[in-house]
A and B are shown apart, each in its own frame.
Chain A
Amino acid sequence: MKIFFAFVRKEFWHVIRDKRSLIILIGLPIVMMLLFGFALTSEVKNSNVAILDFAKDEATQKLITRIDESEYFTVKKTLSSENEIKGEFQKGEVRLVIIFPPNFQNDLRHENKSQMRLVADASDPNTANITINYASAIIRDFQSDLSNNKKLPYTIDLETRMLYNPQLKSSFNFVPGVMTLIMMLLGAMMTSVSIVKEKEMGTMEILLVSPMKPIMVLISKAVPYMVLCFIDIILILLMAVYILDMPIQGSIVLLLAESLLFIITTLSLGLLISVNVDSQQVAMFISLVGLLMPALIFSGFMFPIENMPLPLQVMSNIVPTKWYYNIVKIVMVKGLGFSYIIKQTLILLGMTVFFLTIALKKFKIKLE
């Protein structure tokens, strides 16, 4: 045990001395969270809206105020005829025009039913889609508030409904994504590079000639990175909750336990790489191309797996990141319990055991 601590202490010295790895360990998660959170956001905030209000009654006023107050819209203009709409879009100042028919409030009161029209500038279809969805959400909100103290509910005909993420908040998507990517990068790449570095420097030879058991050498190399990855997970979660306002719906303990399992998966991948490779460059290359790329493509974080051709969909199943990403979404976003992620957990566990067994077998053969 003393030997083990001597080793772990030395490993921390390595990390602290190496400014580059320190930056990667601490800086990367922060930068990624901030980038995805604020810069690379797919949310469309502060879109300019024009209002064409033929009713000009109390209900439309309330709704307009509500739209204006939301962080997604700013009411820029009030129009007076439909002819002006095209002109506004051509100037490119507004993305969305909201049209109220005459007698909006009267219709609601007497017929419990009214209509609205949303016209979006669809030259940028994604943005148009998103703004329409935001607006619909606000209108639905308004409608249900109004209906609360009425016998017969009011209806304003609008159809889309977004489960779990009514505002299409992108953090629900990217926080689990960043977690998987960071773990893959740090767990697998840093571990494999640090082991291969010992081979390159010739220190591995000295370690193997020492009374330390070869397996212990590998474990002692992996443990410090396990601790660091775990710290990173906590860092990411703290940022998600306190900076990006993304609550953790499910059990934190369950989330951390599953994260630990995934960290061990990535570490065993790192070990697997390091026993097969003799230079740091190759180790890094394999980690990036062989692990990070599939993690990016097949986790479902950037590209929906459902839209991929069937062979790629099948392939995605052998990528461990997909399962962890799944787990994080289910626990963190949907707030469901362990019974919903048993399958994913077992798959990850199986993969981990598989990678570890091969890595250790290979390592023993190499020693011979």
Chain B
Amino acid sequence: MASADIELMAHLMRRAGFGATYEELEKYAAKGYEAVVDELLSPMEQPDLEMDLLERYFVDWKEMNALEVNQAYLTYRMINSERPLQEKMTLFWHGIFCVGNSKCEHGRQIQHQLDMFRELGMGSFPKLLLALSVDPAMVFYLDNCMSHKDAINENFGRELLELFAMGVGMDGHANYTEEDVKECARAFTGWTIANAIPRYPYGRFPSQFAFNAADHDYGEKTFQGETGNFNGDDIIEIIVRQPSAARFIARHLYNFFVADEPQIPAWQGTPPRDMAAIKEMEDAYFESNYDLTAMLRVMFNSDWFKNARFEKVKSPAETVAGTMRLVKDFTSPKPGLHPIAMEIRYMGQDLMNPPTVEGWHTGQEWIDSGTLVERINFTADQMGNVTLPGVKDIISRLSSEGINQPGAVVNRCLDMLGAYTLPEETRTYLVDYISKAGELHPGTEAYGGQIAQILQLIVATQEYQFA
């Protein structure tokens, strides 16, 4: 079985990234855990994707004006980015600061928002909130462009408090009042977008944020007990000082990276699964002056993170991107990426088009009879394709190790997919299956097929659905 170092590294890379091949895990393990965490937390030190090459071959990526085009691009990034945590954090914020293509109908504009998450998503929380508040896709999605000084629209103001920065409540009490919502909305009046150029005949143009001073309510406001002539940036400055903001981010980070938690509507009355862990992240938030990387560092280096193995159901994006990283397909531009990207949608996560502003419910809610079948069919199709480089690598490695005993084959296949473990009953079933398939002769064509079958059976297990 894989060493403890490899098992821990597999856990880290599944959570802080989209998984890794066994060869990559060996390299990471040789560097040491904290060094790898440091590397993950410093994405700008790793090369970005070469966009000129990608736009040359995926010609539609230079324009990126349709949802499906953007979804393919996002999928490619998740499969290939050498800055996996940056990509994971982009997905994290996308699931919280939701905008949907069903309303925006402008894929590139949402892509710009995701680019902003890539740039700011691991830095200062107030800066991120400010960028979000002037993001044209958000301004449009939550109707802040329809909020006027003499007729406020509460939508953005409410969600900023409820779903983006504080949450309805914690420890059994409310975090804000209805009056706070109204005052918040007043402070953001005049934060709007310029009138857009219509899509016909030459396609969409990026929208532009505009501050309309004539439509801003300059009057006195009282928010969270403080009074002044607040503008939107003053509101953000007050929000980030609240204990509720620290709690809000800490719980989201815990749910996304550590272990499945109850969904956000339950947070007011349901205490965190691990209050001590949440407290450590809250402390890091305040001690670092609201720095997200400081929270991530505390989290990844903690024992409670390291010990939370397979405590999370993989999201569809993690399932698809993680499997593609293992089979090493689409590592360079080639036709046929769209159906791979669509698998994420079919498994219940229509990226850049979440069901509501609350985003996707996670954990067990990812799984139903339909999405489970999608997961198993997709992952088994990939693992059964012995022409894919990653599958070939696994077969080649087992061959070179001369592994020919059924039990050892199953164990080594589990290692290769990321140091998984199976309940004894399931493992015995796999061992029996391969035993009945005939003798194992490493290096033969038949051996490759037998290994692929074991890989297919492993990805079809309940255990593979967990990260």
A and B form one complex: no
Interface residues of B (CB under 8 A from A): none
